[in-house]
A and B are shown apart, each in its own frame.
Chain A
């Protein structure tokens, strides 16, 4: 075993620990802030694996978009909601969900065992060709063959931004339009709450 391989294996092990540990922490933590931190850890781990898989560009994107944008967004919302972001402990029973989780765990476990039994057929990677995963090669493909989906995803993001703003703002009462409207502020909550 070459020393390079050992480094790689260690790196992989650490990344796996980040990915799975972060994932479990995300799911298990009661405080959503902790969940967000777990998600961040998991995302960084995945980025490390991208590096191992010669996808340097994607690794950078992963850090930028996920860690830099999505997780920050989560944290903003959590802070906006304050203490009520933390949900109280479950008291109600939900057999169907535990059943589903159980079934899924069992079948996924079986799949993992079957995968492990394929050890003999383990697929070793060939050395990557020069420039594989580099920004130049990806950019070339992205802006030639996949230009249409690229533009469409741009449009999708725009729509999502507008939609997110529209949904998050909620129903607004323009005081200039309805001068005699009740004194509730622009972001007034609807009077009737279901509880």
Chain B
């Protein structure tokens, strides 16, 4: 399993990050925003694991990924709870309705 070079993975990760970011910027559905964040986190994880495959003397990259997954799970749980709370107040999940901070 050595025929695919590192850069391929990096390019896939960059593309996935791109997709996630564009989704985060353009969509207004809070649920989709959270999913976009998950996509971005996944792309970063992929980069970490790929680089770890270059430096095989330790598992620092994989362990970091492990923690990122844990934090992503926590973030998803809290984020969805916030979406629910927001929905109770505003009866919608559109992000541009969350404008109480404005002025």
Query: A residues within 8 Å of B by Cβ?
Result: 2, 4-5, 8-9, 12, 16, 19-20, 23-24, 26-27, 29, 32, 35-36, 38-39, 42-43, 46, 49-50, 52-55, 57-58, 61-62, 65-66, 69-70, 73-74, 77-78, 80-81, 84-87, 90, 92, 94, 97-98, 100-101, 104-105, 108, 111-112, 115-116, 118-119, 122-129, 132-133, 137-138, 141-142, 146, 149-150, 153, 156-157, 159-161, 163-168, 170, 189-190, 193-195
Check A70 against B53 for contact (C-beta < 8 Å): no
Q: Is the CB of B11 within 8 A of A104?
A: no
Contact partner, B78, options A86, A104, A112, A160, Cβ 8 Å: A160
Q: Are A85 and B31 in contact (CB under 8 A)?
A: yes
What are 29 A-B pairs with beta-carbon distances under 8 A?
Answer: A5-B3, A8-B3, A9-B3, A9-B4, A26-B19, A26-B23, A26-B35, A35-B29, A35-B31, A43-B38, A49-B12, A49-B46, A70-B76, A74-B76, A87-B29, A87-B93, A90-B28, A101-B26, A112-B14, A115-B7, A123-B6, A124-B5, A133-B59, A138-B62, A149-B67, A153-B70, A160-B73, A189-B89, A190-B89
Q: State the B residues within 8 Å of A (CB).
A: 1-12, 14-23, 25-29, 31-32, 34-36, 38-39, 42, 45-46, 49-50, 52-54, 56, 58-60, 62-63, 65-67, 69-78, 80-85, 87-94, 96-97, 100
